[in-house]
Structure 1
Amino acid sequence: MGAQADGEENLQFESQNFAAVYDAVNETTTLSWGNADTNDYLILEELKTTNYTLYRSDEPLNTSNYPQSEMIQDGIQACMASDTFTECKERTHQVVYEVPPSTDGNYYYGVTSTLENGTVISNFSAGEGGLLVPIQEFGSPITSPYNLQASYDIENATTHLSWIDTSSVDSSLPLNHTTSIWSHDIMVNRSNWNQTNKTEVVVNLSSDVVSFDIAYTTDVSRTVFYSVLHDFDGASDLRFLSGNTLGTGLVEDNVGSSITGALQVDFNYSNNITSLNWTGSVIEDINHTLHIWRSPSAIVDLAGDGVHEIAQLPANTTHYNYSVESEYSGTSYYMITLSDVLGNQQTMLNSAPKANLYEYTLLVDENIVQDLSAAFVMGTTQLTWSDLSNHPEAVYQIWRSNTGSILTNSLLNGNAEMIGTVTAGVEHYNHTIVGDVSENAWYAVTVVASFGTQNVSYAQTNITLSLNSLSQPLVEDTTSPEAPASLSAVYHPNGTTQLSWSGSVNEIGTMWMLYRNLNSDLAEESFWVEVGTMANSGLSIHNLFVNTVAQTDELINPVYAIGAQDSFGNTIAFEDWMLSSAVREDRQSPQVQMKLFDSSNALETSRWFTGGEDATFSNLEVGNYSLQIATGDDVESILYTLSTEQSPKTLNQGTANPSIDLSLSENLPNLSIAFVVTDNSGNSVSFDVLFCNSCLIQPQVIIETNDATTTDDDSMEGSSSSDNENILIGVCVLLGALVVFLLTRSAPRRKSPTGLPSREEDQWISKYTGNQ
């Protein structure tokens, strides 16, 4: 012990503002103090080589008794050598003291200062170097297990843990507690337990259980720490004061020998040899043995399916050549492991040298389909091929490109899209084109199958044009044809309607389809009936003549529409058809009303004509007449031929009341006119009219013969016949005289009728005219 120094001049080296605070929750006492508050650089400089020592006692500390008290911590530097004077003067110190278990009393704390020359300042001045008033401290009894022991059994890969139950040490503690075991990667104490990552190994062990075994069935190689705790009604003693946690990590290792590093592999296509090189790898022991493994899939377990050992070599070997079997195509995985002298195989495979590569020893085109064909029909591309023989496990991949023929590089570079797969036995694939597409497309089919790779299948990327890849593009077109800008419909007198539209240079192979609708509902597709088709022929005007369905004396007003279907089966949607205007298809014969006016413009008579009539207007007075012709608005021409002329004339319909002037005289008592009337639709009627002042209507007398009076007596028959002839002549003379009288009798004039007469009125007039 150094010399004591209690003089006034040494008070500058004593600690300042010493304080102690007890934490009842954690059962710790926090002690803090500061350095001398001085500006004397000599003192501050010496503080850099001064150490503090902290003491604890159940009685007040002084210069005489502190050596016999409990030293809590020594070697606490007052200042760091690198501190500035200000940092040195302002530096504070803090120590957390863990109150011992089963403590319950008052305690004093104090600090001594030891200078570089060994001088100890131990004044323990109240409030500066020590406590004037003790602090009450309480430390609860230990309730954690004692003396945790751990060992690892290498042969059985088992960790054995044992401990002493706390009730065996302190019989006052109850037995109704449980035990739990925890593992963690670092050593723990009361300060870091809550922040440490830990794993609960087992819980709720009864108090009579004082050992536990952890058996490893999987690879383990680690250094681990264990802790064991008791649980009393949900509370555990986490102070770790009873040796219930390992102070040294336990090594658990059931992994065999190991080799770590990289493996380089290379396949020679000319001799079918794969070369392996693991130069630079690190081996655990040169006396161990190397193993080379090969598999068609990644090696994660040396006992896995498809994993085969192909060679055992001395540990110092770094090269090996493997001859690949014929008819092989796929990725091979290689791995190098090391086993120890006992034969324990390497289990940490992640770090073992390993590599994979593609190996191919097939004949040319042995792994591709060889008869791929394609056709595009009604929006769907249909692909067909023949499957590979003896490969029921095969899955066929279908590829498509719109940029060019599909080659192996197309698959690797992403220039072709895989659009589907089918299993063996299907031998076809239908690809439906979605949306409006019009482009060239190329297709290819590759296979995913096993070629020497046992039950592992690999994608075969071999491409041979014209075998499993189309060498020529397939045109795929789902774009609907474009309807013409307009559709013209004109009805002709021959009973046909001419439909006209302009073609398109873009619609090669397109068939135009024409429809007719007699219904007023043009939005109902079922009302439209196809009436004809015509192939597109460039930009030329297309004409199609359609017979009307109007019957004789019938008028219809159909609407026509045009749709289309191109060579790919695409059609114009119903709502996009081009419609014509309504067409007047008229097969009604024109009707003609004839009115005869005398020289005073009084209506003599009128008549309707519908064609084929021979009419006679008789007993007309000598004089001038005007014959007015009234027709519908659709009459195009009225031709008439007078009996006095050779050539027909056309009635001028441009006037308000088209008329023909007539004149009957003594020299021309009779005049006939032949009419031909034609409407805008080409329908025509013809009729003849005779005007006369001397012709009479011949009465028809019907003599009915009574068969009952007929006898076979020839003499009576002759006499009766002669008498009848005489009677008939007399009756005719009397009837004729009566008719002449009636016709020549002057009748009072009636007011000419106005407006067009009805059919009934015209029938009445016919009593005064004769039809032949």
Structure 2
Amino acid sequence: LGGSEQLVANLSAMDGVKARSSYTTKSLNNSREENAYYSVTYAFPDYEDTRLFGSNTLKNPVWEDNVAPPAVLNLSVTHNDSVDITTMSWEVNTNETNLTAVIWRAPQSFNSTSDIGVGIITNISDNVSLLNWSVPAGTFGDFHYAVTLSDRIGNHRQLLTPAEIKGPFHEDTLANSDIQPTSVAAERVDNTKTKVTWYDVVDYPEAMYHIWQSFTGVITEQQITDAKATKVATVVAGVQQVKIAVPDEVERDAWYAVTAEAVWDESTSASEMQIFTSGINAAPTSIREDTLAPLQPTLGLAVAGSADGTVTLSWLPATNETGERYEVWRHPTDGADVSNISSDPSALGWLHIATVLDNAATVQYTQVITLGARTDETAVYAVRVADSYDNMLPSINLQKTLTVNEDTLPPIALMNVQKSGGGTVATVQVGHGSLLVPGLTTGSYILSFQVDESLANLRYRDRIKTIWTDAVGEGVNWAVNGLALSAEEGKVAIYDFEMIDTNGNSALFDIRFEVENDSTLTGDDSKGDNKQETTDLGQSSEGDSTLFTSGILIMAVIIMALLLLLLKLNREGDSVQTPSGLPSKEEDSWYDGYIQDES
């Protein structure tokens, strides 16, 4: 022995046991990288054969190496999402040959290659210092990378410094169909809620689902970046729907989308997949969210109380609305509160008159209301509007209502007949039918009318001339001045009158003035002081005048018959001489006086 040998083990053989024929070292003392020769000799209690023969000594050495190669230098790792490739490069700083580069990968940071989750993705030759690694399909997560050198024995650095580890790098090769909820849709369930529905992703029962809302368009990744979309709800897997409350008094178009959050593939923590595809997890169309009631229409000037007994209301359509409906309401002005008709209008005295549906071609709505029985009542009208979502203001604006005098009755008046320069000779009520005013003499008269309501006009005409003349006056006071009545026109002068009130109601009537010459008055009427008396004649008819005239004629005929009979008897008497020839002037004068007295 030359002195450089080293005894590494003493092995003993036991009786009855076959002698050992192999030996494996458990470990090498100290770090070493060298060739070693091994020899086996016999040793007895009092003798050891130390001769080294070819048969008990290795001819070729054994390479003993327990030293790992040094760390690589300038490790660089990048990931390209567009092509799903992770690129690594490094430098080798050793003269040792036959080395292998080992690429390590883990879904979390690590400092030892023996940590849980750390795995080898590939080994490459030491003469290669660049790797373009295609990330396998179905990968999702944040990953860390390291590169170590392994010698031919397999020695490599197990404990690593932070500088030897690069990451995290987000790698995502999951198909959208694997991570996106599908069939996202939105619908209104009532006036205050929108229901969003979808189908969950498959194989992720622990996933959470986030509902996004936008008012600018279909939700995209850019909208998330620009803060134009807002997360409005989160629900667990299996629910697949959520109701979103719509605030009061809004009118908007809303778009919805749903994303899933789960521990995807090799990821160690949950992450949300904020990837949006229109028609898949992003609703392609908006839904109208409208809780804003349209403004109450303002009623235009109504045409009310016309002769046909109707009220005509008009109003302009609501702006920016389609499919709306209009409700026409009426309330008598009896002192009741008319400011609110929301809960139970009928209990508050309101009457629903009509409902008018939207017509896109209408530039102004008109509603004709039939009043029915003739009346003279004042009422308040209002039009309420509800949009296609049934939004309606809870109360009415009285400034937009219309108070209507529902006057369908013709006017009536008291007419005073006054002779110019004299007093009132008759007072009668006029408004319909025919009236007789007797006992007038030839002259000029003033007719004064005191009407029960304001008139738009009062006119009159001589029935013979048929030309209408307007009376003078306004409101409830009207007059016909200088009405000339003459007996030359006949015993009766007939005039037609028409009173028209401010609601268009018309009263037609005629007055028959009985006119006599002053010379026809006899007896007390001609001998007295000609005092005129005011007479309330009321209403009569043309038949009364005819009957009176007929009575006078009948009486005259009877008297004439009696006189003739008396003359005949006188002529037939013995002592009575019948005069011959025509009656004398004295007889005629007596006869005329008798006729005058009897009439």
2:186 counterpart of 1:370: no
Change (3 A) 1:501 1:679: same
Match of 1:607 in 2: 428
Change (3 A) 1:498 1:441: same
1:556 Cα deviation after fit = 0.7
Change (3 A) 1:549 1:429: farther
2:410 counterpart of 1:594: no
Change (3 A) 1:636 1:291: closer
1:590 Cα deviation after fit = 0.7
Match of 1:397 in 2: 210
Amino acid at match of 2:424: L
* Alpha-carbon distance in 2 for matches of 1:436, 1:264: 57
**Matched residue SS, 2:205:** coil
Matches within 5 A, 1:154-303: 294-295=106-107
2:152 counterpart of 1:330: no
1:448 Cα deviation after fit = 1.2
2:488 counterpart of 1:669: no
**Matched residue SS, 1:366:** helix
* Alpha-carbon distance in 2 for matches of 1:261, 1:496: 101
In structure 2, which of residues 280, 290, 310 is the aligned counterpart of residue 467 of structure 1?
280
Match of 1:489 in 2: 301
Match of 2:340 in 1: 524
* Alpha-carbon distance in 1 for matches of 2:539, 2:373: 33
Amino acid at match of 1:447: A
* Alpha-carbon distance in 1 for matches of 2:198, 2:372: 56
Change (3 A) 1:432 1:616: same
What percentage of aligned pairs have identical amino acids? Answer: 21
Residues 263, 355 of structure 1: 8 Å contact kept = no
**Matched residue SS, 2:212:** strand
1:665 Cα deviation after fit = 3.6
Higher relative contact order (CA 8 A, sep 6+): 2
2:185 counterpart of 1:359: no
1:680 Cα deviation after fit = 1.4
Match of 2:62 in 1: none
Match of 1:308 in 2: 117
Structure 1 residues 71-97: Cα deviation after superposition (integer angstroms, max 9, x where no partner): xxxxxxxxxxxxxxxxxxxxxxxxxxx
Change (3 A) 1:647 1:616: same
1:585 Cα deviation after fit = 3.2
Instruction: Report the TM-score when normalising by structure 2.
Output: 0.54
* Alpha-carbon distance in 2 for matches of 1:349, 1:437: 59
Amino acid at match of 1:593: L
1:606 Cα deviation after fit = 1.9
The two structures, once aligned, show a CA RMSD in angstroms of: 5.7
2:504 counterpart of 1:682: yes
Residues 140, 267 of structure 2: 8 Å contact kept = no
**Matched residue SS, 1:365:** helix
Structure 1 residues 201-243: Cα deviation after superposition (integer angstroms, max 9, x where no partner): xxxxxxxxxxxxxxxxxxxxxxxxxxxxxxxxxxxxxxxxxxx
* Alpha-carbon distance in 2 for matches of 1:476, 1:750: 84
1:634 Cα deviation after fit = 1.9
Runs of at least 5 residues in structure 1 that lack an aligned partner in the other structure: 1-258, 282-289, 338-345, 695-740, 754-761
Residues 373, 384 of structure 1: 8 Å contact kept = yes
Structure 1 residues 40-59: Cα deviation after superposition (integer angstroms, max 9, x where no partner): xxxxxxxxxxxxxxxxxxxx
Structure 1 residues 537-575: Cα deviation after superposition (integer angstroms, max 9, x where no partner): 69x9624234265852322142546x6555676666857
Match of 2:400 in 1: 579
Change (3 A) 1:608 1:294: same
**Matched residue SS, 2:464:** coil
* Alpha-carbon distance in 2 for matches of 1:650, 1:276: 113
Structure 1 residues 486-509: Cα deviation after superposition (integer angstroms, max 9, x where no partner): 6532324254445455668x6263
In structure 1, which of residues 385, 407, 421 is the aligned counterpart of residue 234 of structure 2?
421
In structure 2, which of residues 374, 397, 401 is the aligned counterpart of residue 552 of structure 1?
374
2:485 counterpart of 1:659: no
Residues 489, 580 of structure 1: 8 Å contact kept = no
Residues 491, 585 of structure 1: 8 Å contact kept = no
Residues 279, 319 of structure 1: 8 Å contact kept = no
Runs of at least 5 residues in structure 2 that lack an aligned partner in the other structure: 1-70, 94-101, 149-157, 517-522, 545-599
Structure 1 residues 128-177: Cα deviation after superposition (integer angstroms, max 9, x where no partner): xxxxxxxxxxxxxxxxxxxxxxxxxxxxxxxxxxxxxxxxxxxxxxxxxx
* Alpha-carbon distance in 1 for matches of 2:198, 2:527: 107
Structure 1 residues 268-318: Cα deviation after superposition (integer angstroms, max 9, x where no partner): 87998867789899xxxxxxxx996744x67799999xx53535999xx99
Match of 1:386 in 2: 199
1:681 Cα deviation after fit = 0.5
Amino acid at match of 1:489: L
* Alpha-carbon distance in 2 for matches of 1:666, 1:366: 115
Residues 640, 674 of structure 1: 8 Å contact kept = yes
* Alpha-carbon distance in 1 for matches of 2:111, 2:253: 46
In structure 2, which of residues 428, 445, 449 is the aligned counterpart of residue 629 of structure 1?
449
Amino acid at match of 1:687: F
Change (3 A) 1:623 1:530: closer
In structure 2, which of residues 252, 261, 270 is the aligned counterpart of residue 457 of structure 1?
270
* Alpha-carbon distance in 2 for matches of 1:461, 1:320: 30
* Alpha-carbon distance in 2 for matches of 1:594, 1:752: 12
Residues 664, 692 of structure 1: 8 Å contact kept = no
Structure 1 residues 698-757: Cα deviation after superposition (integer angstroms, max 9, x where no partner): xxxxxxxxxxxxxxxxxxxxxxxxxxxxxxxxxxxxxxxxxxx9x99999967649xxxx
1:395 Cα deviation after fit = 1.9
Residues 112, 160 of structure 2: 8 Å contact kept = no
